[in-house]
């Protein structure tokens, strides 16, 4: 099983009101949150997964648990709190890119503390962490302590997935990412996140620096320009995007992440040692699989991640 750690919430997408009345705003709510999406994405791609995080006992929290149950994601690592569910208001631009505004202060997904962390058995092959749960408290420090505890024992993957609305302090983001990259074996980052974190540094210099720690592979996603990989053993190279009819890019990065883990699992390389043994050809195949999966998500509205049989 792969254990994904972090937030579960509802994304609210605004829809046009046929009446044209300014006093009316219609919304479509879809279960989401980057870690939530990765956990669901893994199950849809055939990998056993669980979600570690706080979830509300309110109506929306119960719906989130039901979605996880329906998708086959393990509930055993969820901690229930009598606090609200985080709401994310999403506006999608003309290019399909989303802008998020979070209502999450004091909400359930932020309340996870160190004493809630369970012992992990050998069945947990790896951990994935990412998004604002890394930097809001107390869950941010809780997940950092988990990563420190498990570093070297099982595969750890990281996607910064910077969200400045819930935590606008970019210096705090930089400090936390700097700590986490010392423990991650696999990192995926978007070019947008890299620019937010280090606007005055070249992507190559930042990613090569990350490879000086535990990390074996860093994948840099570039939206319509495809993706690049930086390998400690094999150098760096790029692959083009798959051309599709774009609906939006919501969930594309989470799909890319889930697909990377899925490829490793399917090939029996989902371990610290397995990652170190990958050939250049295998890494290229891994990146291509993730690009195809992310492209499929872009053809649908919202974080509707693909199933394994859809990818061939």
8 A C-beta contact, residue 272 and residue 185: yes
8 A C-beta contact, residue 39 and residue 5: no
- Strand, helix or coil for residue 132: helix
Which residues lie across from 159 on neighbouring strands?
A: 130
- Indicate if the alpha-carbon torsion angle 150, 152, 155, 157 is positive or negative: positive
pLDDT in tens, 287-310: 999 999 999 999 998 789 999 999
pLDDT in tens, 221-245: 999 999 999 999 999 999 999 999 9
Burial label, 281 (beta-carbon count in 10 A; 0-12, 13-18, 19+): exposed
Q: Is residue 87 within a helix (H) or strand (E), and if so which, with residue range?
A: strand 87-92
Q: How confident is the model at residue 96 (pLDDT cuts 50, 70, 90)?
A: low
Q: What is the CATH number of domain 2-17+28-304?
A: 3.40.1190.20
Question: What whole-number percentage of the chain has pLDDT above 70?
Answer: 97
* Closest C-alpha among 187, 211, 209, 186 to residue 269: 186
Averaged pLDDT of the chain: 95
8 A C-beta contact, residue 214 and residue 155: no
8 A C-beta contact, residue 61 and residue 109: no
pTM over 0.85: yes
């Amino acid at each position: 099983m792969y254990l994904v750690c972090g937030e579960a919430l509802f994304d609210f997408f605004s829809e046009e009101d046929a009446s044209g009345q300014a006093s009316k705003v219609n919304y479509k709510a879809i279960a989401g949150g980057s870690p939530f999406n990765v956990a669901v994405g893994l199950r849809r791609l055939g990998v056993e997964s669980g979600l570690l995080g706080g979830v509300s006992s309110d109506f929306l929290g119960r719906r989130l648990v039901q979605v996880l149950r329906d998708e086959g994601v393990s509930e055993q690592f969820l901690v229930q709190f009598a606090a609200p569910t985080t709401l994310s208001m999403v506006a999608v631009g003309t290019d399909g890119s989303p802008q998020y505004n979070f209502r999450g202060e004091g909400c359930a997904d932020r309340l996870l503390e160190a004493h809630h962390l369970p012992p992990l058995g050998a069945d947990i092959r790896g951990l994935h962490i990412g998004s604002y749960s890394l930097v809001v408290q107390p869950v941010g420090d809780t997940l950092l302590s988990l990563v420190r505890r498990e570093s070297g024992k099982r595969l750890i993957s990281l996607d910064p997935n910077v969200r400045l609305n819930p935590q606008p302090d970019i210096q705090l983001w930089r400090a936390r990412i700097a700590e986490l990259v010392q423990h991650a074996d696999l990192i995926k980052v978007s070019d947008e996140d890299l620019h937010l974190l280090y606007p005055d540094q070249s992507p190559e210099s930042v990613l090569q620096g990350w490879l000086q720690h535990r990390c074996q592979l860093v994948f840099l996603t570039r939206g319509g320009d495809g993706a690049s990989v930086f390998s400690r053993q094999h150098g760096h190279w790029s692959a083009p995007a798959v051309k599709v009819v774009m609906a939006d890019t919501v969930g594309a990065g989470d799909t890319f992440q889930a697909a990377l883990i899925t490829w490793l699992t399917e090939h029996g390389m989902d371990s610290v040692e397995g990652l170190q043994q990958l050939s250049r050809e295998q890494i290229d195949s891994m990146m291509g699989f993730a690009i195809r999966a992310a492209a499929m998500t872009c053809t649908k509205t919202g974080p509707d991640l693909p199933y394994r049989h859809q990818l061939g």
